[in-house]
Amino acid sequence: MTFNEIQLIQPLLQAITEAGYTEPSPIQAEAIPVLLRGRDIIGCAQTGSGKTAAFALPILQRLSKEKSGHIRALILTPTRELAIQIYDTFRYFGKRLRLHSGAVFGGVSQNPQVDALSRGLDVLIATPGRLNDLINQGYIHLNHIEIFVLDEADRMLDMGFIHDVKKTIKLLPLQRQTMLFSATMPPEIETLAQTLLKNPAMIKVDPTTCAVESIDQCVYMIDKPNKTLLLAELLRTEDIKNALVFTNTKHGADRVVQKLSQEGFVARAIHGDKAQNARQDALKSFRDGRVQILVATDIAARGIDIPELSHVINYDLPDVAETYIHRIGRTGRAGLGGTAISFCNIDHLDNLRGIEKMTGLKIPVRESQWPMLIFEKTVKQVRPPRTERKTPQSKRFSGPPKSRRW
């Protein structure tokens, strides 16, 4: 099946082509036609299956028919990372439609989110806690919702958000289209589904079906101090037109750029400590082909669109498996066939296992002249919070220091 056969409107088809999606993933092929007919669905699918586009495309198509100035579609998702990812997907596919999407999630100031809400949104992507906060403060009204998506319902349950979710559901108009996505169907979610959905179509895809399967992936097992040597070697010997290199920290991104520059490569970094115009300038130079390597943290790389990206390099493997999928999903666009290369040092071995478990794929290991020799994990020192610093360490910590998550 092709996207053309699914009866999507031209502006969406154009964006799909630009994203390099040559054919719909199984969940997209099954769910989009059903959703376009207005039916409720239960989708058994996880991140990596292409479920975001499976609901974003029909939502955008339906909303594009008329403008109202109210929030008409609400997507509830458990984590900030997913909220950002979904928001980016709506923005990407909706770029030719005059629809506005916004995201609200916790852990950051609510002010920019409130500003975006006050400008008027058609689609709202939200995590449950922040959504309820903003509803209670009177910034969000759900009485015009026509479409409701409950994403990763099983994780909502695991993360203890189900109470907040139920509170939100009570505020939704009864007349609406509802979609529930969940990788598994525990009894509590089944019960919720019975009250939430009307005559839903059940769509289940093979859990190992991964939309990024077609990307050529490999991993090098390598010690941290040798990573820049390997990166420089790959840039010299492989056919790498351009590469987006991901590090887990801002400091790490700067270090990689510094080392690559010493080796004579043209590299720039984008991360949260760089001024907005420096980031834009780096991005523009990368898009124009004047810079071959762009080193980024996940937050800085959000929403940036690079149409012809030959390589994604995970200099550090991410802690969250979905992040891996979203990073590598950026390559292989426009039918160009992309490559994702990852570096795994001993500290990231669990991350690699998590990624392989989630994608259901074993990432082939490639050998280099720098084999892994350090098998002991780094024990990171954690400074206790300010109020606790005066307490003697021996009284506070009985076990080894916890490793810090960046």
Contacts to ligand AMP by CB under 6 A? 21, 24-25, 28, 47-53, 211-212, 325-326, 329
| Residue closer to ligand AMP, measured from CB, 25 or 345 | 25
Report in angstroms how near the CB of residue 109 gets to ligand AMP at its nearest: 26
User: How far is residue 40's CA from residue 47's CA, in Å, rounded to a whole number?
Assistant: 20
Helix, strand or coil, per DSSP, at residue 328: helix
Q: How far is the CB of 53 from ligand AMP (least distance, A)?
A: 5
**Nearest approach, Cβ of residue 85 and ligand AMP (Å):** 6
**C-alpha closest to that of 176 among 150, 157, 139:** 150
Q: Output 23 or 188, the one with its CB closest to ligand AMP.
A: 23
Rounded-to-integer distance, Cα 124 and Cα 54, Å: 17
Amino acid (one-letter) located at 224: K
CB of 95 to ligand AMP, least distance (A): 15
Q: How far apart are CA 235 and CA 255, in angstroms?
A: 17
Which of residues 205 and 294 has its CB atom nearest to ligand AMP in the complex? 205
Of the pair 3, 315, the CB lying nearest ligand AMP is at: 3
Contacts for 288 with CB less than 8 Å, ≥ 6 apart? none
Tokens of 277: 């115009």
- Output the smallest distance, CB 33 to ligand AMP, in A: 15
Nearer to ligand AMP, 132 or 359 (CB): 359
Shortest separation between residue 260's beta carbon and ligand AMP, angstroms? 26
Nearer to ligand AMP, 187 or 335 (CB): 335
Helix/strand/coil for 178:
strand
Task: Closer to ligand AMP by CB, 82 or 269: give it.
Answer: 82
**What dihedral angle (degrees, nearest 10) is formed by the CA atoms of 7, 10, 13, 18?**
180
* Nearest distance, CB of residue 26 and ligand AMP, angstroms: 10
**Which lies closer to ligand AMP via its Cβ, residue 181 or residue 345?**
181
Least Cβ distance, residue 21 to ligand AMP (angstroms)? 4
* Closer to ligand AMP by Cβ: residue 299 or 382: 299
Shortest distance, CB of residue 81 to ligand AMP, whole angstroms? 10
Q: Where are the alpha helices (DSSP H) in 267-331?
A: 276-288, 298-301, 321-328
What is the distance between the alpha carbons of residues 139 and 116, in angstroms, rounded to a whole number?
10
Nearest to 345 by CA among 366, 324, 315: 315
CB 75 within 8 Å of CB 152: no
Question: What φ, ψ does residue 344 adopt, rounded to 5°?
Answer: -125, 115
Distances (CA, A) of 344 to 6, 255, 256, 363: 40, 17, 16, 11
Select 77 or 132, whichever has its Cβ closest to ligand AMP: 77
CB of 225 to ligand AMP, least distance (A): 31
d(CA 128, CA 126): 6
Whole-number Cα distances in Å, 244 to 81, 88, 275, 313: 19, 18, 19, 6
Q: Which residue, judged by CB position, is nearest to ligand AMP in the bound state?
A: 329
Nearest to 348 by CA among 213, 219, 217: 219
